[in-house]
Structures are given as structure tokens and as C-alpha cells.
Chains A and B, each alone.
Chain A
Amino acid sequence: MANAGTRNRPLSPHLQIWRWGPHMFVSIMHRVTGNGAAVAGLGMLLWFLGALASGPKAYETFSWAMTTPVGYIVMVGVSWSVITHMMSGIRHFFLDVGAGFELKTNRTWSILSPVLGVVFTAAFWALLLLR
């Protein structure tokens, strides 16, 4: 009886069966950017806090690493990951309460959230560099 509901349960078709749409892209990107932010972003945060707690010399090493070309690529990449994840996360809050599932609305926000991610990342860096 415990297995009564488990036999012959329908499987949902996998990715390649569906016609591609922006909602699939934004869903995959939510995982990619979330994991990117978790690994690279939290790693960077810990290095920053560890360097601050260890003193000026350690902080100097951190500052040097972050202002090399690779460091800038990592910083821009992490900020883009975090902001893009934040935008699709906000989209998820609306989906959680049952809003925005209409085909057109869903499509619109699936396209807009990664675009807003890039726009806000650019705005953040503009504010940082122009202040």
C-alpha cells in the first residue's frame, strides 16, 4: 500500500522535448547565477572580511588581487551573478503568490529579469566608478 501511488507515475518530459522559451532560460540562469554567487561571491566576501580582520597587510593583498584585470572580471561577474539572481528571485516571489503565470506576462518578465540584471549591474558599477 505504501507504494500504491508510486508505480507508473507519469514523468515530466525533459528539457529537449519542450520548445525553447525565455522562461526556461531564466530558470536555468537562476541556478547558474545562484551557484556562482554562492561559490565565488561568498568566497570573495570571506576573503574581504578575513583580510580586514587580519590587518592592513592582508587587506593590501586583497586590494591588489581585486584590482588586477582578473580581479575586475571576478568582481563584475560576481556582482552580475548576485543582481541577476536577485531579479529572477523577485520574479519568483510573484510566481509564489500565483501571479504572472499568464503566457504573455510570464514571457515578458522572463525576458525582463535578466535584462534588468545587466542594467542594474551596469548602474552599480557606474555609481562606483563615477562617485
Chain B
Amino acid sequence: MGNGTSIGRVRGLGSAKSGSHHWLVQRFTAIGNLFLLLWLAVSLVLLQDYSYATVAEWLSKPVPAVAMILLVVSTFWHARLGMQVVVEDYVHEDGSKFACLVALNFAAFAGAAFGVFCVVRLALGAH
């Protein structure tokens, strides 16, 4: 005891072992989510109706399509970071924790890829 600085004694501890970058990205994506979800809420309120023709025409336009792609990326990234913390807090056994984090990463990347692909397909003329 008594060696090193106080930051040196606690560095690498805690359930996640590290985290300031994770913490910052959680905030960056939170700000992105805030703006993009407000955009989505306003857009949904302003839409004439929710028929396929109206919604598909709206989401095919450049600005809504790009905003939706950003929303998918930002929300999935934020969800991945948030659920990672929950796993680290409640799954204590190393093997299970690793398996949970692998599953979480697969789900987050697959979900985001599917969402982005769907918007691109729609915007580039599927309907």
C-alpha cells in the first residue's frame, strides 16, 4: 500500500475494467438520438396518413432517408453501449459475460445493417 497515485490504484478496476471512451461515446450517441428522435416524432405527426404510398414516398426522399439511416446507426450504437453496461453489471461469470457480449454485438451490428439496407433499398427504388 502507499504506492502510486490514487488514479493508479483504481485504474483497471470496476466491472468493466475501463470506460472513459465508452462513457463519452454513450453521450455522443445520446445527443444524436435526441435530435434524430425529435425529427422522427415531428415527421410522424406531420405525415398526411400512414398508407404505404405516403410513408414510402416520404422515406425515399434524400433528407428523410439519410436522417433515418443516422437514426438507425445512432440508436443501435447507443443501445449496444447501454446494454453492455447492464451485462457487465449483472453477468459475473467470465464465460457467460463474454458470450452475452458476443451475442449483443452480433445483434446490434446485424440490426443496424438490416435497418440501413432497408432504407437504402427503399430510397433507391424498391417501391
Write out the residue numbers on chain A whose beta carbons fall within 8 Å of the beta carbon of B52: 52, 55-56, 59-60
Instruction: List the B side residues contacting A63 at CB < 8 Å.
Output: 50
A62 and chain B: residue at smallest CB distance:
B52
Cross-chain contact A55 with B79 (CB below 8 angstroms): no
Interface of A, helix, strand, loop or mixed by DSSP: helix
A127 contacts the other chain (CB 8 A): yes
Cβ–Cβ contact B126 & A53, under 8 A = yes
How many residues of B sit at the interface, in one of the four size bands?
35 or more
Among B4, B34, B41, B121, contact of A53 (Cβ-Cβ < 8 Å): B121
A102 within 8 A of B: no
Q: How far is the CA of A44 from the CA of B101 in the complex (A)?
A: 22
Chain A minimum-CB-distance residue to B127: A55
Task: Give the total of A residues in contact with B, Cβ under 8 Å.
Answer: 34
Residues of B within 8 A of A35 (CB): 82-83, 86
Interface CB pairs A-B, < 8 A, 19: A4-B9, A5-B13, A34-B82, A35-B82, A35-B86, A42-B76, A49-B72, A49-B114, A49-B115, A49-B122, A52-B52, A53-B121, A59-B52, A59-B56, A63-B50, A86-B34, A89-B34, A90-B34, A128-B44
